[in-house]
Amino acid sequence: MTFINITPLRMAMAMLFISSQAVAGHGSSTESPFQVSGFATVNYSISSSSTRYDRFIDSGGTFDASSILGIQGTYAFNPNTWATTQVALASDEESDKGLRPVVRWAYLAHEFGDHWIAKLGRQRLNVYRNAENLEVGSTYNQATLPKEIYVNPGFLSSDALSIRKRLFLTVDTHSEIGFSAGTKDTQSRALGANGQTVSYHPYDLKGANVFGSHHFADQSAVFASHLEFESNLLTPSGRVSGQGSLTSLAWESAPEVVQLALEAALISFDQDLTLAGSGTQVPLPAFKSLGLSANATWLESPYKPYLGYARNITRVGQTFGQWSVKTGLSMRFDQQTILKAELLHVNASSNPPNIYFDAPAGSSQQANILTLSLNRLF
């Protein structure tokens, strides 16, 4: 496959230009059954370390880690039935070079009965509190969400059938429950990093996800999700296959003077390797990863300063650990535009295998990372 090779500066300029043009022409056809919207993030990150973090971030600085342009079109066949497609231009998932347009969403939806909605097609699985709006930086104050929690983006997109139901318990209180089942072909770098090169391997992910949320009268909320999945990963040594689960819990306080958010996610995966050629099956160490995060945001300040802490404990034969602390602020110009600045300190006392730093598993790594981002809805 060919890559789209665009320099970071050209990428940033193109995203801002397209955003401004779309905003300028938006709103002239509000009665049309076809609606277009989108989002853009221009994100620059630079690290104190020359060892790459999160695929791209090192001492040379980069726009590639989280910059993205997304365009979404929705066509309403009638008030209860619609089709949605979202295409995003972001860093290539199959390598660490260039950009690639990817269809994030492409589904048909129908609302029926008493607040039931069914969707069929490519969509985001509700496995995390911020799963559906993960890439839309205008929807939250933090410049980056904790990697210790959001470690596996392969779970987030699936070709699936989903059904959800909203329950209005009182005027100020409601719950939402849902179920989805589907499959996704994606990429993994879980077996490739050795500190010098990264190998990507295709794998297919199949699973069923049950999720729910509850919003209280004081506007606080809780979220819970459980995903059962099976996976097959092709590597030069053979096929790695197994079954696993991801359980996610989150709580968010009412948006008062200070808003608190707590999240936890546990991934468990039992796996074995079928050797290429001989077909011999070799058991592999079970994979377990626990991520925890806490964040506090001062809402009364116009700059929404925040402080966050996150920790990950991973066990694959031996125990690996990483923690991070971050602080930042944001300036919202309007409901669509937000400018963010964040300073993140990451410390991997025993680097988990290929999840964070491009360095040998078990090595000690740390970095201070400055991130600036401009986020826009249109």
- CA–CA separation, 69 vs 19, rounded Å? 9
Helix, strand, coil share of the chain (percent; to 5): 5, 60, 35
Instruction: Let me know if residue 189 belongs to a domain.
Output: yes
Instruction: Let me know if residue 88 belongs to a domain.
Output: no
Query: 201 phi and psi, to 5 degrees?
Result: -130, 135
pLDDT of residue 176: 93
pLDDT of residue 93: 76
Instruction: Let me know if residue 18 belongs to a domain.
Output: no
pLDDT of residue 18: 42
In Å, how far are 50, 121, 196 from 46, measured between CA atoms?
10, 37, 19
Give me the tens of pLDDT residue by residue for the chain, a chain 378 residues long.
333 444 444 443 444 444 444 444 444 445 689 999 999 999 999 999 999 998 899 999 999 988 999 999 999 999 999 999 999 999 887 777 788 898 888 999 999 988 899 999 999 888 888 888 888 988 889 999 898 988 665 557 789 999 999 998 887 898 999 999 999 887 776 544 444 456 777 778 898 999 999 999 999 999 999 999 998 888 778 888 999 999 999 999 999 999 999 999 999 999 898 998 888 888 988 989 999 999 999 999 999 999 999 999 999 888 989 999 999 999 999 889 999 999 999 999 887 766 688 887 788 999 999 999 999 998
Angle at 228 between CA 224 and CA 231, to 5 degrees: 135
The number of residues in the chain equals 378
pLDDT of residue 189: 67
Cα torsion through 31, 32, 34, 40, rounded to 10: -50
Q: Decide: residue 2, CB within 10 A, 0-12 exposed, 13-18 middle, 19+ buried.
A: exposed
Instruction: Let me know if residue 356 belongs to a domain.
Output: yes
Domain that holds residue 165: 51-61+109-373
| CATH code, 271 | 2.40.128
Q: What global pTM score does this model have?
A: 0.85
Instruction: Let me know if residue 299 belongs to a domain.
Output: yes
228 neighbors 246 (Cβ within 8 angstroms)? no
Total domains in the chain come to: 1
